[in-house]
Amino acid sequence: MLVTGGAKRIGAAIARAFGEAGWHVVIHYGRSRDQAEALAACLPSAEVVSCELDDWAAGPAMIENLAERLGDWRVLINCAGVFDLDTAQDLDPATFQAAMRVNAGTPARLGQAFLSHARASGGRRLIHVTDQKLLNPNPDFFSYTMSKHALAATIPMLSMARGDARDRVYGIAPGAILASHDQSEAEADVSHRMNLLGRRATPEDVAGAALFLAGGWLASGETVYVDSGQHLLAQPRDVLFLARQ
């Protein structure tokens, strides 16, 4: 399996969970080489790869190179992303362009290349990490949220276009899990409990969902929400700001 953004944060939790479950893990990193190599060294079977995800050509080339030498490559998880602030009142063009390319365009192209070139004996699993903001939007992080909606739109489309009925295309939509943007850990502990269960979802929760989806038990095109029910609430702002009010 390959996980993009696998050196840190949620991506690292996914890589660790698959490694401990017996998978050979390919950890993609952008600028976090030391963290990627340290994580790979801790896993029973792992390697690292790198490419810039804001480069249209680099990502698909990485996929094609891996497909040439991995004889049974079953899973690609697109977890890497950028999370920068702009708002519904003031879209920032540079933030928008980066978000749409890194969070939506490149993962879609990686998925297309994976489904075209990877070989797997029991069908392939393409999993996009999106966001609970799909069902619980607010005006903050405007470009980021648009990019995740765009990525989510590819899940049913790629599912319909798959050439092998054994393949599956899925989404995982996490809620607030780790401190992000300029949050302190104390702020995160407050904001990340603003959900129906009053419980912080964890990176390990997301990793567990990814392992479940890797089994292909659900119909292709489904998205699993891992957010302690946050997507069922109507929140007028990002929880980062709600916790500061």
> pLDDT tens, 8-21?
999 999 999 999 99
> What number is the average pLDDT over the span 112-136?
97
> What number is the average pLDDT over the span 59-67?
98
Model pLDDT, residue 182: 83
What is the CA 85 to chain-centroid distance, rounded? 19
Model pLDDT, residue 97: 98
- Kind plus residue range of the DSSP H or E element containing 150: helix 142-161
> What number is the average pLDDT over the span 181-201?
92
Model pLDDT, residue 244: 85
Task: Find the largest Cα–Cα distance for the chain.
Answer: 53
Q: What is the mean pLDDT of the chain?
A: 96
Asked if 175 contacts 227 with a C-beta cutoff of 8 angstroms, the reply is yes
The CA distance from 107 to 155, in Å, is 11
243 pLDDT band, cuts 50/70/90, is confident
Q: Tell me which residue range forms the domain holding 185.
A: 2-242
Task: Give residue for tokens 């009010």.
Answer: 245
Asked if 124 contacts 159 with a C-beta cutoff of 8 angstroms, the reply is no
The CA distance from 33 to 36, in Å, is 5
**Residue 99: how many other CB atoms lie within 10 Å:** 26
CATH number of the CATH domain containing 113? 3.40.50.720
> pLDDT tens, 148-178?
999 999 999 999 999 999 999 999 999 999 9
Q: Which residues pair with 224 in a beta bridge?
A: 172
Asked if 50 contacts 18 with a C-beta cutoff of 8 angstroms, the reply is no
> pLDDT tens, 212-240?
999 999 999 999 999 999 999 999 999 99
> What number is the average pLDDT over the span 31-37?
96
Closest residue by Cα to residue 200 from 228, 162, 165: 228
> What number is the average pLDDT over the span 114-132?
96
Backbone φ and ψ of 174, nearest 5°: -75, 160
Percentage, residues of the chain above pLDDT 90: 93
The CA distance from 106 to 110, in Å, is 6
Asked if 146 contacts 103 with a C-beta cutoff of 8 angstroms, the reply is no
Q: How many domains does the chain have?
A: 1
Q: What is the pTM of this model?
A: 0.97
181 pLDDT band, cuts 50/70/90, is confident
Model pLDDT, residue 28: 98
